[in-house]
Amino acid sequence: MTARERFLCEAIELAYANVAKGGRPFGAVVVRDGEVIATGVNEVVATHDPTAHAELLALRAAGRRLGSANLQGCTVYASGHPCPMCLAAMRLSGVGAVVYAYSNEDAAPYGLSTAAIYADLARPFAEQSMTIGHDPIRLDGRPDLYATWHQRQERQESRGGG
């Protein structure tokens, strides 16, 4: 068995264990340099948190373990096709690869596919099912929010705060 297969099997076993506890059939494993850094299972049912997906919880745990939100060099192994939210989080965190076992096609008969969300997100904002609006409000008398943040970052870096 290859390492890739071993980590995918671990993600699937996590998903089976989660189903046995009444959760949804999703598990994820974050790996760096051949070592499991963190794992997660879907906790949406248990927590009533719509963002408590296996991949997101595994990324959060990996960040805590590594002491950094930068997960470059990591691979995520997931039992199922990651949803757009989880895939975006992986990209934002610097994850270099994701591998999954069950496809959206496998999930569709059970109402677990996210293919429709992917299709909707591929459309222009004006044509998507969710209203998306930009209203460029600024607070009077306050400096630009992003410039304020940038200046603070530069001050921290100049003090060696990284």
- Eight-class DSSP state of 32: E
User: Which residue, 28, 88, 95, 26, is CA-closest to 63?
Assistant: 95
Q: Report angle CA 27, 33, 37 to the nearest 5 degrees.
A: 40
CB 12 within 8 A of CB 101: yes
Which H/E stretch holds residue 88?
helix 84-93
CB 93 within 8 A of CB 69: yes
Q: Which of 35, 55, 127, 157 is catalytic?
A: 55
Rounded CA-CA distance 88/80 in Å is 15
Query: Is 55 among the catalytic positions?
Result: yes
Residues with active-site annotation: 55
